[in-house]
């Protein structure tokens, strides 16, 4: 049995879903993969930090978080210093970084991942910021330290996008991509088709926990732009930041526009696209009226889709239905298994 020590930075929706997945898959990891894991540290923003070299009881950590309590009581030793000191002293072999995204700079997650990689830990994240702002640097650092930097969950949660090109499509050159990558706006546009005003649709998305209190990151296309940037930077090898993506959100679309499109057999969708042009990339996020012949037309609610055009295959689409923290957690879990199995 091979044993791995894990540390979590960020223990919100995704971090907790990942902890539940490790608990649920414990027997399968042991029997099928001969792998055991021990969580030696968990650090949060406002819910404290826990360190225990012998292993934190994840059930207790989840129960504490459920009750809104801090994690400090789980610590077997004093926790000193900031999050970077926590990572350095954790003794972990794998860091899961799931702190909130910073669209503009990728920080502080980049620093968290950098320190982990420098310490010889595998670094796995669902945070898009470090991928668009530091993909090349972190990948080089990982290679120099003989470890891995993985981020499957940053786009379309647990669906295999980055690993598809890394593992299953060797030698394929990505020419362009097109898709719906933001769940909140797709849900809002769908609600407006059923009669909601824009405001009501946003309120519904907030009520079910899909949209944040300040939904502008989704509505103004920033989340979609950062995902297009991540895909272009990694899969096309052409560094692209969200501010380089031509971006229009959905604020100006109202129920009348949605009804008019429906009368013409079309649906409004916030479409993301990127196209290789020589040694650069043209990327765009903008609402479009898609016809019923488009694979994007029937993508409902919070589901997403991406269609790839490569130099070797015909159009290749991946659709993910009903994503959430549990599917995001699976992407992190898959990254972990893929890394430790070499």
81 φψ region: left (φ > 0), alpha (ψ -120 to 50), beta (else) = left
Binding mask 236-275 for ligand NAP (x = CB under 6 A): ----------------------------------------
Q: How far apart are CA 232 and CA 15, in angstroms?
A: 26
For residue 226, what are its two tokens? 């950062």
- Min dist CB 106 to ligand NAP, Å, is 10
| Three-class secondary structure of residue 42 per DSSP | strand
Among the listed residues 5, 26, 128, 227, the single catalytic one is: 227
96 vs 198 by CB, closer to ligand NAP: 96
Which residues from 39-78 bind ligand NAP, rule CB under 6 A?
Answer: 43-47
Contacts with ligand NAP in 10-39 (CB under 6 A)? Answer: 10-15
> Binding residue for ligand NAP (CB under 6 A) from 39, 49, 90, 98?
98
Residue environment code for 229-238, b if the CB has 16+ CB neighbours within 10 A, otherwise e: bbbbbbbbeb
Binds ligand NAP by CB under 6 A, chosen from 93, 152, 157, 335: 157
**Minimum gap (Å) between residue 48 Cβ and ligand NAP:** 8
Give the Cα-Cα-Cα angle 182, 23, 328 (nearest 5 degrees): 10
Output the CA angle 130-207-49, nearest 5 degrees: 45
Of 108-147, which residues contact ligand NAP (CB under 6 A)?
108, 126-128
Q: Which is nearer to ligand NAP, 153 or 233 (CB)?
A: 153
> Which residue is nearest to ligand NAP, using beta carbons?
12
Q: How far is the CB of 90 from ligand NAP (least distance, A)?
A: 13
By CB atoms closer than 10 A (0-12, 13-18, 19+), residue 265 is exposed
Q: Minimal distance in Å, beta carbon 84 to ligand NAP?
A: 10
> What order do you get walking across the sheet with 266-277 strand by strand?
246-247, 280-291, 266-277, 174-180, 304-310, 316-320
Question: For ligand NAP, which residue of 84, 169, 324, 334 counts as binding (CB under 6 A)?
Answer: 324
Q: Which of 7, 29, 101, 306 binds ligand NAP (CB under 6 A)?
A: 101
Q: Quick one: 174 or 210, whose CB is closer to ligand NAP?
A: 210
176 touches ligand NAP by CB under 6 A: no
Please confirm, yes or no, whether 199 is among the known catalytic residues.
no
Question: Residues binding ligand NAP: what is the number (CB under 6 A)?
Answer: 26
Rg (CA), the chain: 21
Instruction: Tell me the backbone φ, ψ of residue 48, rounded to 5 degrees.
Output: 75, -175
The contacts found for 12-16 with CB under 8 angstroms, 24 or more apart, are 12/44, 12/98, 12/100, 13/325, 13/328, 14/98, 14/126, 14/153, 14/325, 14/328, 14/329, 14/332, 15/42, 15/96, 15/98, 16/62, 16/65, 16/325
Binding residue (CB under 6 A) for ligand NAP from 49, 99, 182, 233: 99
**CB-CB contact of 71 with 44 (8 Å):** yes
Question: Minimal distance in Å, beta carbon 45 to ligand NAP?
Answer: 3
Where along the sequence are the contacts to ligand NAP (CB under 6 A)?
A: 9-15, 43-47, 83, 98-101, 108, 126-128, 153, 157, 324-325, 328
Active site amino acids: 227
């Amino acid at each position: 049995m091979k044993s791995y020590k894990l540390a979590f930075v960020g223990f919100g929706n995704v971090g907790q879903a990942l902890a539940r997945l490790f608990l649920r898959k414990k027997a399968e990891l042991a029997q099928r993969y001969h792998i055991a894991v021990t969580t030696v540290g968990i650090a949060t923003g406002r819910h404290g930090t826990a360190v225990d070299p012998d292993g934190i009881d994840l059930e207790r950590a989840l129960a504490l978080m459920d009750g809104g309590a801090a994690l400090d009581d789980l610590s077997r030793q004093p926790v000193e210093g900031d999050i970077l000191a926590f990572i350095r002293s954790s003794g972990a072999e794998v860091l899961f970084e799931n702190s909130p995204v910073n669209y503009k700079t990728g920080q502080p997650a980049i620093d968290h991942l950098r320190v982990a990689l420098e310490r010889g830990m595998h670094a796995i994240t669902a945070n898009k910021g470090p991928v668009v702002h530091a993909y090349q640097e972190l990948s080089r650092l990982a290679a120099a330290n003989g470890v891995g930097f993985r981020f499957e969950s940053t786009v379309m949660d647990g669906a295999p996008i980055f690993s598809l090109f890394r593992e299953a499509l060797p030698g394929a050159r990505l020419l362009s991509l097109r898709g719906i990558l933001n769940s909140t706006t797709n849900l809002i546009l769908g609600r407006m088709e059923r009669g909601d005003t824009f405001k009501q649709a946003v309120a519904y998305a907030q009520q079910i926990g899909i949209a944040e209190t300040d939904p502008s990151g989704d509505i103004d296309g920033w989340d979609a732009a950062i995902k297009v940037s991540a895909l272009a930077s990694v899969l096309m090898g052409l560094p692209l930041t969200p501010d380089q993506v031509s971006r229009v959100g959905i604020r100006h679309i109202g129920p009348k526009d949605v009804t008019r499109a429906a009368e013409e057999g079309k649906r409004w969708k916030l479409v993301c696209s990127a196209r290789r042009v020589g040694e650069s990339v043209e990327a765009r996020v903008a609402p479009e009226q898609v016809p019923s012949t488009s694979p994007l037309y029937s993508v409902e609610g919070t589901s997403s889709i991406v269609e790839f055009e490569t130099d070797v295959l015909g159009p290749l689409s991946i659709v993910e239905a009903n994503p959430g923290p549990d599917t995001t957690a699976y992407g992190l879990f898959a990254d972990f298994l893929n890394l430790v199995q070499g």
